Chains A and B, each alone.
Chain A
Amino acid sequence: MRIVVLTKPVPDPAAGQERLTAEGRVDRAGSPAVVNGNDEYALEAALKLVEASPDGGEVTLLAMAPSNAPETLRKALAMGAHRGVLVTDPALEGSDTLSTARVLAAALREMEYDLVLAGADTSDGGGGVVAAGIAAILGLPYLSYAARIEPAEGRVRVRRLSATGFDVIEAPMPALVVATQGARSKEITTRALSDLDVDGATPGGAAATAKVTGSRKPEQRGATKVVRVPAPEAAKAVVDFLAQRRII
């Protein structure tokens, strides 16, 4: 079982230093980076699948990120991935979701795998649209929001979470699976943009299909009202508060 896990270094939300550059892009140098939380789910799921596979296998990380990303990827390798591929190039800076899908698809075309695993979305962009784009470009079966992943006899069966329960869906491998929950050293090679055959428009900020035109801080919440009284009075205070705000 050969699995590629799409992995994105993102500004560490816990550090609280995320900001935009003057061009309105995420300032990737201005904040400590971590592996995107949902990608860790995908990595855990991949490691479990390889562990359970009778003929073993290999987990490869694939990331498109600035050249300082190996530090972040090493943490993901330390979790048990076997190797990493980093697509890095100054010309990729400012790439939008469509360019990102095209570049990652081009990188995947050069790799061999039974499954590609991705996280549901990233904590910085949060769009959750890149993985489906890659599947469309490569013509891979796409199985998303997978809470359980079961490969068998050349096919993969997934329990896809829905708003009201789950669907069991199935397709032949190779396939792209978006993992939600998982269970729980090595080499990084780097690829420049010119090493890849990217179709469609050139990636990078100059070719971006959207741009940030402004930003503002959200309205501050009012001061916190603190209640510290016995339960019956506290309950009355809560219900009065909700009534005053016309929630009930």
Chain B
Amino acid sequence: MAGALWVVGEATSEGLARVSTEVATLARGLGEASKRDVVGVVAAADPSTAAEELARYIPRVLAIAAPEAADRSAAPAIAGRLAALVEREAPGHLLIGATPDGRDLTGFLSALLGWGVLVNAGSVEWTDGRPAVEQSVFGGKLLTTSTFTDDHGIITVRPNSTTAEPASSPGKVEPVDVAPSVELPAVTLVEHVDESSGTVPIEEARVIVAGGRGVGGPDGFSVVEELAAALGGSVGATRAAVDAGWIPFAQQIGQTGKIVKPDLYLALGISGAIQHKVGMQTAGTIVAVNRDPDAPIGEFADLFVVGDLFEIAPAIAAELRSRSG
């Protein structure tokens, strides 16, 4: 199995993180191009649900039970066992979703294995016997292609880079036993709090409706939420709106928040300053509503509506509802 491509699946409280299904789909394509085996691996207190889900995309999935992960912070709890399995089975490359847990795990594995990292891949191709990783840098101004200088490496893959497609036939899950190569210091999980309103996290959302300073206050976000609900999307915000305390930091998009790549980004009362633009400019379609005809967002939106968001956003929501009958 030397040289295999490993997809490190991320277990969540619901099962498997969606980005892992995208990474698995991408890896399957790379496996065909490189004639290398593609193997999934999931390490968690109880990896079975996530491993079964990953096996819908990959022929073979290794499931590592890491009982200590039950009451600990995930990445430091599982990194030691994953590193040991990598040392034992000697895969060529690891592909991991670029989520908070995925990045933490990547940092640990890179240091424990001495492997290089290429981060935030938008696409990966197999060229000259190696993965060639395309990354968007400088806030989307440039796309670079990079390779590793040796035969190993870890690639983090940005959510929404690929559309997940299950394999034609499901794969098999193999439980494996492996002791950690090192014991990383335990970080105790004291409490798990779920605040989600049932919407998709903004990094994974296909539709985002975001509000900025022009929304005017916490009450103004009800307009943003109403339109997001009408479009089946998630709510995002600029740093100005977060700093003002109108909406939690988890929704912040931009240089100091999340980088997102939805199919539709609908910006309400957002001027489009560079610090925000770098977080959303690779969206498939950008629609902006702003009172200021000279707002910078007008320079890179696909559709720019000049007007009052408090009139236009509810009108769009009403129009959507009337068309869906």
> Which residues of chain B come closer than 8 Å to A20, judged between CB atoms?
137, 142, 144
Give residues 99-157 of A contacting B (CB, 8 Å): 101-102, 120-121, 123-137, 139-145, 147, 157
Query: Are A245 and B195 in contact (CB-based, < 8 A)?
Result: no
Query: Are A147 and B256 in contact (CB-based, < 8 A)?
Result: no
- Whether, in the assembled complex, B107 has its beta carbon less than 8 Å from a beta carbon of chain A, the answer is yes
Query: Are A170 and B187 in contact (CB-based, < 8 A)?
Result: yes
One of B185, B194, B287 near A165 (C-beta < 8 A): B194
Query: Are A96 and B187 in contact (CB-based, < 8 A)?
Result: no
- Whether, in the assembled complex, A215 has its beta carbon less than 8 Å from a beta carbon of chain B, the answer is yes
> Which residues of chain B come closer than 8 Å to A161, judged between CB atoms?
100, 249-250
Take A164-B196, A169-B73 as given contacts and tell me if A96 and B116 are in contact as well, using a CB distance cutoff of 8 Å. yes
Q: Looking at A20, A144, A200, which has the most chain B CB atoms within 10 Å of its CB?
A: A144
Query: Are A98 and B194 in contact (CB-based, < 8 A)?
Result: no
> Which residues of chain A come closer than 8 Å to B187, judged between CB atoms?
141-143, 169-171
The minimal Cβ–Cβ distance linking A157 to chain B, given in whole angstroms, is 7
Assembly CA distance A129 to B284 (angstroms): 27
One of A141, A209, A245 near B76 (C-beta < 8 A): A141
> Which residues of chain A come closer than 8 Å to B275, judged between CB atoms?
13-14, 37
Take A145-B100, A222-B302, A238-B305 as given contacts and tell me if A165 and B76 are in contact as well, using a CB distance cutoff of 8 Å. no
Query: Are A236 and B319 in contact (CB-based, < 8 A)?
Result: yes
- Whether, in the assembled complex, A208 has its beta carbon less than 8 Å from a beta carbon of chain B, the answer is yes
The minimal Cβ–Cβ distance linking A48 to chain B, given in whole angstroms, is 15
One of A14, A181, A222 near B274 (C-beta < 8 A): A14
> Which residues of chain A come closer than 8 Å to B203, judged between CB atoms?
163
Query: Are B116 and A221 in contact (CB-based, < 8 A)?
Result: no
Query: Are B282 and A212 in contact (CB-based, < 8 A)?
Result: no
- Whether, in the assembled complex, B84 has its beta carbon less than 8 Å from a beta carbon of chain A, the answer is no
One of A38, A163, A212 near B201 (C-beta < 8 A): A163
- Whether, in the assembled complex, B293 has its beta carbon less than 8 Å from a beta carbon of chain A, the answer is yes
- Whether, in the assembled complex, B146 has its beta carbon less than 8 Å from a beta carbon of chain A, the answer is yes
> Which residues of chain A come closer than 8 Å to B75, judged between CB atoms?
132, 142, 144
Query: Are B144 and A241 in contact (CB-based, < 8 A)?
Result: no
Give residues 76-131 of B contacting A (CB, 8 Å): 76, 79, 98-100, 103-108, 110-112, 114-120
Query: Are B302 and A210 in contact (CB-based, < 8 A)?
Result: no
> Which residues of chain A come closer than 8 Å to B176, judged between CB atoms?
none
Take A98-B117, A228-B307 as given contacts and tell me if A126 and B108 are in contact as well, using a CB distance cutoff of 8 Å. no
Query: Are B193 and A217 in contact (CB-based, < 8 A)?
Result: no
- Whether, in the assembled complex, B179 has its beta carbon less than 8 Å from a beta carbon of chain A, the answer is no
Assembly CA distance A145 to B187 (angstroms): 14
- Whether, in the assembled complex, A180 has its beta carbon less than 8 Å from a beta carbon of chain B, the answer is yes
- Whether, in the assembled complex, A231 has its beta carbon less than 8 Å from a beta carbon of chain B, the answer is yes
> Which residues of chain B come closer than 8 Å to A165, judged between CB atoms?
192-196
- Whether, in the assembled complex, B229 has its beta carbon less than 8 Å from a beta carbon of chain A, the answer is no
- Classify the interface of chain A: helix, strand, loop or mixed: mixed
How many residues belonging to A are interface residues under a CB distance threshold of 8 Å?
94
The minimal Cβ–Cβ distance linking A156 to chain B, given in whole angstroms, is 10
- Whether, in the assembled complex, B244 has its beta carbon less than 8 Å from a beta carbon of chain A, the answer is no
Give residues 208-248 of A contacting B (CB, 8 Å): 208-218, 221-222, 224-232, 234-239, 241-243, 245, 247-248
> Which residues of chain A come closer than 8 Å to B163, judged between CB atoms?
none
Assembly CA distance A137 to B184 (angstroms): 10
How many residues belonging to B are interface residues under a CB distance threshold of 8 Å?
99
One of A38, A169, A212, A226 near B190 (C-beta < 8 A): A169
> Which residues of chain A come closer than 8 Å to B301, judged between CB atoms?
224
Query: Are B103 and A128 in contact (CB-based, < 8 A)?
Result: yes
- Whether, in the assembled complex, A28 has its beta carbon less than 8 Å from a beta carbon of chain B, the answer is no
Assembly CA distance A80 to B132 (angstroms): 43
The minimal Cβ–Cβ distance linking B75 to chain A, given in whole angstroms, is 7
Nearest CB to that of A211 among chain B residues?
Answer: B149
The minimal Cβ–Cβ distance linking B230 to chain A, given in whole angstroms, is 10
Residues of A at under 8 Å CB distance from B? 11, 13-14, 16, 18-20, 24, 37-38, 41, 96-98, 101-102, 120-121, 123-137, 139-145, 147, 157, 160-172, 175, 180-181, 200-201, 208-218, 221-222, 224-232, 234-239, 241-243, 245, 247-248
Residues of B at under 8 Å CB distance from A? 12-13, 73, 75-76, 79, 98-100, 103-108, 110-112, 114-120, 132, 136-150, 153, 156, 182, 184-196, 201, 203-204, 207, 231, 242, 249-250, 255-256, 259, 263-264, 273-275, 278, 282, 284-287, 293, 298-308, 311-312, 315-316, 318-320, 323
18 A-B pairs whose Cβ atoms sit less than 8 Å apart in the complex:
A20-B144, A38-B256, A97-B117, A120-B100, A127-B103, A127-B120, A129-B107, A144-B73, A165-B196, A166-B195, A167-B193, A170-B188, A224-B301, A225-B304, A227-B304, A238-B305, A239-B320, A239-B323
